[in-house]
Amino acid sequence: MSVQVIFVCLGNICRSPMAEGVFQHLVDEAGLSDKIQVDSAGTSSWHIGEPAHSGTRRVLSRHGISYDGRARRVRASDLSDPSTYVIAMDWDNEADLRAQFGDHLRLYRLLDFSPDSPEQDVPDPYYTGNFERVYNLVADGCQGLLVAIRRQEGI
């Protein structure tokens, strides 16, 4: 049984695809790709079927990470397994998930795994345009998340 991780933001074109790409890269580097499954989705249906935002694709490729996912909306089956790690990018995403699907045992915000971060929410680069800063926050959170999952799951 592999561990499931899904990153969730609003549009699934900026932040959660970035986190999916970064986390998949870390999982691959750690040789854990057969043990950890990584996905992402959005709470809205606004960008279904679209590739990631050009800013996200650019910053990922600058860091040597390829990503070719398409946006989709989060669905109840994504949260039906209580052992799935559901990682929201900000407080709004977390509140939307709770409103749509109820409580989930392993619903976190990404920056919960960056204890030294001055922020708790990953700011939305769709509005700020600052994809590099978001990358740094996402990369920190993903590193902390992998450590936490490895410890929790004994892998």
Among this protein's residues, is 15 annotated catalytic?
Answer: yes
Binding mask 92-131 for ligand 4NP (x = CB under 6 A): --------------------------------x-x-----
- Catalytic residue selected from 39, 78, 121, 124: 124
The residue with its CB nearest to ligand 4NP is 11
Asked if 3 is part of the footprint of ligand 4NP (rule: CB under 6 A), the reply reads no
Binding mask 25-64 for ligand 4NP (x = CB under 6 A): ---------------------x------------------
* Separation CA 8–CA 23 (nearest Å): 13
Beta bridge partners of 87: 7, 108
Contact 149/3 with Cβ under 8 angstroms?
yes
In the chain, alpha helices (H)? 15-29, 54-62, 91-101, 125-128, 131-153
Residue for token digits 């993903």? 142
* Separation CA 71–CA 88 (nearest Å): 15
Footprint of ligand 4NP (CB under 6 A): 9-15, 46, 124, 126
Q: Which residues carry out catalysis?
A: 9, 15, 124
